[in-house]
Amino acid sequence: MSEPAPGGEAWDRVSTILRRSVPRQQFETWFRGMRLVSLGPERAELTVPNNFLREWIHRKYFGVLRRALREVSAGDPEIEIRIAADGPEPAEAAAAAPAGRPAPPGRPAPLGGHPLEPRALTYGESDVVLNSLYNFENFVPGPSNNFGYAASLAVADSPGKSYNPLFLHGSVGLGKTHLLQAICHRLMDRRPDMRILYLSCETFTNHFVTAVANGELDSFRFRYRHVDVLLIDDIHFLANRERTQEEFFHTFNTLYNANKQIILSSDSNPAEIPTLEERLVSRFKWGIVARIDQPVYETRVAIIARKVRMHGVEFPDEVVRCLAENVRSNIRELEGAVNKVAGMAHIYSRPVDMDMARETLRDLIPPSSVRVSIDGIIRTVAEYYSVPVRDLMGKRRTKSIAYPRQICMFLARRLTSHSLEEIGGYFGGRDHTTVMYAYDKIRREVEQDGELSRTLELLKSKITT
């Protein structure tokens, strides 16, 4: 049979079949720029904007494409995919992206720009789907992460120009992935011209291993070395992988020398990643190395407040404080605790209170010792500091009384389930802000003062026996 009607309706039918056969995102990434020039039972002619797409379609999608073309043409056409006349050739593509400069507008960016959706990170190959909540707006800065946060913002605002590479490290659950993705979001919003590649080190490693096994190193290199921003999460995964390290070394050099931004995260600082080659260690330190620490109490409170708002539930202050006190080292866990409590509130259509939080988070929150009475606390503290009970319960403000009284309030808050108002009532009818103030003051002191912490332990053990 001779040439049938090209493009138009035939392509609509082919693309409908393709859409059914591959996930939407993949269709958008790989087939959006494809054109059907002609289609008959013996021959199909298509174009794509660049060689990279052609190669990839040949490798990954040839089967689905062939099935679709067969179905629509009612034959078994020989398939030819050409580069569209207005698309750049690869050699040109490489040259068309000089250091740090975006591709000229109105013209397809080489490799991965138009016609790919800007959101199709990494040409659809990344293993990571960006979490839309991991943006800068949702990140709570504090003393523990300020440096990494500020550096991430700077890099997102002027990639390749401020700090290169940016190396974020810290233990698990402290916000490294969140910051990396926040950089991606911001770049995608503000610099749609840029080619951003964000992936885990594990994926990089797997791609590399596969490329070696299939003799496809050229296309692997082409892919990784033609980006404007490369973000690799959990780079410590390179430990003990000599060949991948070697490959990454060259990727790094190529990008770095072209002023392309490199951003890495790791669970430890470069020098402490076991078996990491010295030349990589030193390169990782060329730019900025920012450590993320465990958040301090105030940051934990702010993070909880932020997560609570997202759930549209109210948490009483005492629940927020209780969570902040008991979950210290991992923000993911903190978030998990908030989710559980908010989940309970939704399921039972009940407002959140301390009992519900305790019940839901039995493994995180130590049980309150209901048997402890405030009277018991006052007697024990009075004896320890040699002050009269009635002074502790009265109005006197001299330091020798005020301090033990604050200790009493602190312990009452920690060891009983009385409300702030109730506690205030025991101490000369003071109001809840006074109790709160005392509580916060002692809590801060305990964190810094080992002696005080031992004293409190001693008092607690006297009170509870």
Residues that bind Mg ion (CB under 5 A): 176-177
Strand pairing of 35-39 and 229-233? unpaired
The 8 Å CB, 24+ separation contacts for 308-313 are: 308/338, 308/342, 310/133, 310/138, 311/338, 311/339, 311/342, 311/346, 313/342, 313/345, 313/346, 313/352
- Candidate residues 22, 46, 140, 304; the one interacting with ligand ADP per rule CB under 6 A: 140
- Could you say which of ligand ADP, Mg ion, none residue 335 binds, taking C-beta under 5 to 8 angstroms by partner kind? ligand ADP
Give CA–CA dist 5/67, Å, rounded. 19
Of the candidate spans 62-70, 171-179, 186-194, 387-395, the one that interacts with ligand ADP by CB under 6 A turns out to be: 171-179
Q: How far is CA 188 from the centre of its chain?
A: 16
Question: Which candidate, 4, 53, 62, 9, places its Cα nearest to that of 30?
Answer: 53
| Sole binder of ligand ADP in the list 75, 173, 425, 428 (CB under 6 A) | 173
Determine which residue in the list 26, 164, 177, 380 makes contact with ligand ADP, applying CB under 6 A: 177
174 contacts ligand ADP (rule: CB under 6 A): yes
Q: Is residue 332 at the binding interface for ligand ADP, with CB under 6 A as the rule?
A: yes
The residues near 164 (Cβ < 8 Å, ≥ 6 apart) are: 155, 256, 259, 261, 262, 286, 287
Q: Which stretch binds ligand ADP (CB under 6 A): 71-79, 131-139, 182-190, 338-346?
A: 131-139
> Min. distance of Cβ 144 from ligand ADP in angstroms?
8
Is position 175 an interface residue for ligand ADP (rule: CB under 6 A)? yes
Answer yes or no whether residue 303 interacts with ligand ADP by CB under 6 A: yes
- Least distance in angstroms from the C-beta of 150 to ligand ADP: 13
Give the 3-state secondary structure of residue 47: strand
Q: Which does 178 bind (CB under 5 to 8 A by kind): ligand ADP, Mg ion, none?
A: ligand ADP
d(CA 159, CA 300) in angstroms, rounded, equals 30
Phi, psi for 80 (deg, rounded to 5): -120, 125
Q: Strands 261-266 and 229-233: what pairing?
A: parallel
DSSP line for 206-243 = HHHHHHHHTT-HHHHHHHHHS-SEEEEE-GGGGTT-HH
Instruction: Between 174 and 357, name the residue whose CB sits nearer to ligand ADP.
Output: 174
Report in angstroms the alpha-carbon separations of 385 from 131, 453, 457.
54, 15, 15
Pick 177 or 380: Cβ nearer Mg ion: 177
- Smallest gap, in angstroms, from Cβ of residue 333 to ligand ADP? 9
CB of 229 or CB of 456, closer to Mg ion = 229
**Minimum distance from CB of 181 to Mg ion (Å)?**
9
Q: Does 335 bind ligand ADP (CB under 6 A)?
A: yes
Task: Kindly state the tokens that stand for 416.
Answer: 């009983």
Q: Single out the segment in contact with ligand ADP by CB under 6 A; choices: 151-159, 329-337, 368-376, 426-434.
A: 329-337
- Under the binding rule (CB under 6 A), the answer on residue 331 touching ligand ADP is yes
User: Which position among 11, 139, 284, 427 is part of the footprint of ligand ADP (CB under 6 A)?
Assistant: 139
86: tokens are: 């207005």
- Chain residue at closest Cβ approach to ligand ADP: 175
- For 304, counting Cβ atoms within 10 Å of its Cβ (0-12 exposed, 13-18 middle, 19+ buried), the class is buried
Residue nearer to ligand ADP on the CB measure, 134 or 252: 134
Among the residue ranges 20-28, 169-177, 243-251, 274-282, the one whose residues contact ligand ADP (CB under 6 A): 169-177
Determine if 176 is a binding residue for ligand ADP (CB under 6 A): yes
Q: Which does 332 bind (CB under 5 to 8 A by kind): ligand ADP, Mg ion, none?
A: ligand ADP
Q: Which two tokens stand for residue 55?
A: 């190669």
Residue whose CB is less far from Mg ion, 73 or 266: 266
Chain residues 305-324 in contact with ligand ADP, contact rule CB under 6 A:
306
With CB under 6 A as the rule, give the number of residues binding ligand ADP: 18
Both tokens assigned to 19: 């859409």
Closest approach, Cβ 166 to Mg ion, in A, equals 15
Between CA 460 and CA 453 the distance in angstroms is 10
Cβ(40)–Cβ(4) under 8 Å?
A: yes
DSSP tally for the chain: helices H, then strands E? 21, 8
Interacting partner of 172 out of ligand ADP, Mg ion, none (Cβ under 5 to 8 A depending on kind): ligand ADP
In whole angstroms, how close is the CB of 197 to ligand ADP at the nearest point? 18
Check if the beta carbon of residue 51 is closer than 8 Å to that of residue 90: yes
260 binds, among Mg ion, ligand ADP, none (CB under 5 to 8 A by kind): none
Residues found near ligand ADP in the complex (CB under 6 A): 134, 138-140, 145, 170, 172-178, 303, 306, 331-332, 335
